[in-house]
Structure 1
Amino acid sequence: MTGLRERKKQRTRDALVRTAHELFVDRGYERTTVGDIAGAVDVSQRTFFRYFANKEEVALALQRMVQERFLTAVEERPAHETPLQLLGHALGTAWDGISDALREVVPIELYIRMWQVIETTPPLLAARLRYSAEQESRLVAEIARRAGVDPDADPRPRVLVAAFSGVMQLAGRRWATGPDATVEGARRLFQGYLEQLGPALAEEWGPPRGSAGGGGGVRG
């Protein structure tokens, strides 16, 4: 059972994340200081730095949480799945309960608006891409380990992860600016885009089943 001290620390951390997101959305990332965030939570800047190295870290805290949930889901999948099955099933598992996990810290609407801030703020976008590259390396290593291949000699794990990451980034942008800005809407969109990855990598393309021309399917 989590002790009182740990629960208090978690509440402080959550308050810093929530307040930082509110200020970044209302004022802009560049115009918000660590002092602004700490003051709004009624703690010292020293307390802020016990939880986060800088305001970049607090801005990306929830996105990192979501990515960690996905990596954990990947590691817990059964060994018999193919790499593409692994990614699809882990993505579905990661979405389970994510709405509740986010709502414990911020309203979903605030999370979505913060996503838009990140996408339109060059320093934050660059930081997110750096972090994503680190997560991709971990994912490559896990897929290669499961497949029993050397990722330095066999390019397939890196190619698959690069394609997967590109699809996820595209789906994320579409979700953040689309009409269904809900967690369930995100889940449907991300899964729908991922389902197109296998067909998109096939040697031959043809019109989607049930199409007379070549339209249909998920569009980017």
Structure 2
Amino acid sequence: MTGLRERKKQRTRDALVVAAHELFVTQGYDTTTVDQIAEAVDVSQRTFFRYFTNKEEVALFVQDMVEACFYGAVCAEPPGTPPLECLRRTLNDVWDEVGRSVEEIVPLDLHLKMCQVIETTPSLLAAHLRHSLLMEEKLVQEIARRTGVDAEADPRPRVLVAAFSAVMRTAARQWGMREGTSLETAREVTRDYVAQLGPALTGDWGREHHR
């Protein structure tokens, strides 16, 4: 009975996420109300607030889930992997799994359109960055733990995570604002940008890169 109740709760939560995303994509985040989201799922406003504190939380639910999946996978990486390689390998290893997890909640094309909404809505982008900063701090502590350094005394974990996160955000802006972006396009752009992180910081750019 408990399992059935939990599945029903998850279906309601997921339906609220889908309805909210569809409304945000079609009519904009700022003009969408909690009442409209609840009405689209045929539930009360009170029911909505059982699952989400506000519309910001439902808007960022999938993004937060993706970041949490990545963090969990980093923690599960074998010890001894160089920090940057750990982040890069984890990203590659979990991409398909994360895509499946997203698709269990919302259609991928809707998720990708919602990424565009986040990028183009100042209040939502600011909230997303706040959430990301909290996750970045957890990544800093995990990298410090894995390398046996004190993140308060050694700046390298924070420098690495800051650089990696900035590259990820830059890649997301690049693929997120393209028309008809697919998950595979997002993966290719992200992989290409992350691959340039090391060379951009340490390599000899040479004249050909300035042409």
Across the two proteins, how many residue pairs are aligned to each other? 211
User: SS of 2:63's equivalent?
Assistant: helix
Alignment RMSD:
1.7
**Shift, 1:206, TM fit:** 3.1
Residue among 206, 209, 213 paired with 2:208: 213
Q: Distance in 2 between matches of 1:73 and 1:181?
A: 25
- Residue of structure 1 in register with 2:81 after alignment: 81
2:3 equivalent to 1:3:
yes
The separation in 2 between residues aligned to 1:199 and 1:2, in whole angstroms, is 52
Equivalents in 1 of 2:12, 2:209: separation in Å?
A: 53
Work out the CA distance in 2 between the residues paired with 1:44 and 1:143.
Answer: 43
Q: Structure 1 residues 174-183 or 65-74, which shifts more?
A: 174-183
AA aligned to 1:135 is M
- For the residue of structure 2 that corresponds to 1:71, the secondary structure is helix
1:104-119 matches, within 5 Å, as 104-119=104-119
Which residue of the partner structure matches residue 168 of structure 2?
Answer: 168
Q: Secondary structure at the match of 2:209?
A: coil
2:155 equivalent in structure 1:
155
1:105 & 1:148 partners in 2: Cα distance?
A: 37
Q: Deviations over 1:15-58 (max 9, x none)?
A: 00000000111111111110110011011111111110000000
What is the SS of the residue equivalent to 2:105? coil
**1:69 and 1:45 mapped to 2: Cα distance?**
29
Alpha-carbon spacing, 1:175–1:105, altered in 2? closer, same or farther (3 Å): same
Counterpart CA distance in 1 for 2:54 and 2:205 is: 49
The verdict on how the C-alpha distance between 1:2 and 1:93 changes in structure 2, with shifts beyond 3 A counting, is farther
Shift of 1:215: 6.1
- C-alpha distance in 2 between matches for 1:178 and 1:40: 29
* Residues in 2 aligned to 1:176 and 1:152: alpha-carbon distance in whole angstroms: 34
Counterparts of 2:112 and 2:204, CA distance in 1? 34
Calculate the TM-score normalised by the size of structure 2. 0.95
SS of equivalent residue, structure 1 residue 93? helix
Following superposition, the deviation at residue 2 of structure 1 comes to 7.7
Deviation at 1:160, TM superposition (A): 0.5
Residues 41-99 of structure 1 deviation map (CA, whole Å, 9 limit, x = unaligned)? 01111111111000000000111111111001100000010001110111112212222
Q: 1:15 to 1:111 in 2, by over 3 A?
A: same
TM-score, with length taken from structure 1: 0.91
